[in-house]
C-alpha cells in the first residue's frame, strides 16, 4: 500500500515521503497515530508542503536535543538500591530507572530509549552511561549506584579513595616487577 508520511517515523521514512508499506502496518499503526495517509491524488499534491513542515520540525527537534545534550553532558545521577555485603544488588538498575532519575534531576523529559546500556547494572559503583538523544546528538552522564541508607557523596568519595589506592598499588607492583627484571637481566649478563 502506498502512503504519504505526515511525520518522521524512525527507521521507516521522513515526513513528506511516499513509500510502499505493508497493509497491516499502515492500517494498524500509521493511520491511527496520524503518521501517514493513503497516497491519493490530493495527498500527493501536498507532499512538498508536508516535506517542508517535517523538515522544520526535524530542525527544531535537533536544536532542542543539542541544547538538552549540553545540559545533560557530565551530569551525575544517583540511585539508591538494596545490596548485599559484596556489593551485588538485589535486582538490577535498568535504563528505565536511570531515565526516570535523570528526568527528576534535570526537570527535562528523558525517554528510556535514549539511555544506552548494554545490560542492566547489578553492582554498586560509579559507571559512565551514554545518552543517544538524536541521531546526531549524544551525551555522557555518570550513574552512581549506592547502597540504601548511605550518603551518595560519602559513598562516591570512598569509591574514589579505593580507586586511588588500587592505582597506587598497581603502580608500586609494576615498579617492583621492573626492578626485579633489571636485577635478573644484570645477573644474566654478569653470569655469561
Q: What residue segments make up the domains of the chain, in order of their start?
A: 2-51, 70-158
Q: Which CATH class is domain 2-51?
A: alpha beta
Looking at residue 46, its pLDDT comes to 80
Can you spell out the DSSP letters for 135-186? TTEEEEEEEEEEETTS-HHHHHHHHHHHHHHHHHHHHHHHHHHHHHHHHHHH
What is the spatial distance between Cα 109 and Cα 39, in angstroms, rounded to a whole number? Answer: 34
- Residue 64's Cβ-count burial label (10 Å; 0-12, 13-18, 19+) is middle
Confirm whether pTM is higher than 0.95: no
Mean pLDDT, the chain, whole residue set: 83
Looking at residue 114, its pLDDT comes to 87
Q: Which residue has the higher pLDDT, 28 or 11?
A: 28
- Could you please state the CATH topology (level 3) that the domain comprising 70-158 is classified under: Ribosomal Protein L9; domain 2 (3.10.430)
C-beta neighbour count of 82 within 10 angstroms: 10
Amino acid at each position: 500500500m502506498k502512503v504519504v508520511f505526515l511525520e518522521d517515523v524512525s527507521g521507516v521514512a521522513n515526513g513528506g515521503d511516499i513509500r510502499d508499506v505493508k497493509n497491516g502496518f499502515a492500517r494498524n499503526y500509521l493511520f491511527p497515530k496520524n503518521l501517514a495517509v493513503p497516497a491519493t491524488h490530493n495527498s500527493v499534491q501536498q507532499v512538498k508542503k508536508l516535506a517542508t513542515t517535517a523538515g522544520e520540525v526535524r530542525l527544531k527537534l535537533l536544536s532542542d536535543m543539542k541544547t538538552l545534550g549540553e545540559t545533560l553532558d557530565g551530569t551525575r545521577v544517583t540511585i539508591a538500591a538494596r545490596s548485599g555485603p559484596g556489593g551485588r544488588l538485589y535486582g538490577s538498575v535498568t535504563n528505565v530507572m536511570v531515565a526516570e532519575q535523570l528526568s527528576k534531576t534535570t526537570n527535562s523529559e528523558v525517554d528510556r530509549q535514549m539511555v544506552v546500556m548494554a545490560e542492566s547494572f547489578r553492582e554498586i559503583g560509579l559507571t559512565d552511561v551514554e545518552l543517544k538523544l538524536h541521531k546526531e546528538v549524544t551525551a555522557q552522564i555518570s550513574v552512581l549506584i549506592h547502597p540504601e541508607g548511605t550518603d551518595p557523596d560519602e559513598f562516591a568519595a570512598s569509591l574514589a579513595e579505593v580507586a586511588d589506592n588500587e592505582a597506587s598499588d598497581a603502580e608500586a607492583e609494576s615498579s617492583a616487577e621492573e626492578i626485579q627484571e633489571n636485577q635478573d637481566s644484570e645477573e644474566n649478563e654478569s653470569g655469561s
